[in-house]
Amino acid sequence: MLQFFIGFILGAIISLFLYACIIAGAEYDKKLYGEEAKRE
């Protein structure tokens, strides 16, 4: 049971970190290329 909670918490932390990287990358692209940089 303890292993489940440790894995669940680590998975949540890693997911949030990756999501933050995606958001930061999108903001950087916007700043670098302007608003016309649209992803498809």
First to last CA, the chain: 42
Question: 6: which 2 tokens?
Answer: 């440790």
Q: Is the pLDDT of residue 35 over 80?
A: no
pLDDT tens digits along 5-31: 999 999 999 999 999 999 999 888 888
How does the average pLDDT of the chain come out, rounded? Answer: 87
Confidence at residue 22, expressed as pLDDT on a 0 to 100 scale: 95
Domain spans in the chain, listed from the N-terminal domain onward: 1-40
Confidence at residue 8, expressed as pLDDT on a 0 to 100 scale: 97
CB 13 within 8 A of CB 6: no
Confidence at residue 39, expressed as pLDDT on a 0 to 100 scale: 56
Instruction: For 1-40, give the DSSP string.
Output: -HHHHHHHHHHHHHHHHHHHHHHHHHHHHHHHH-TT----
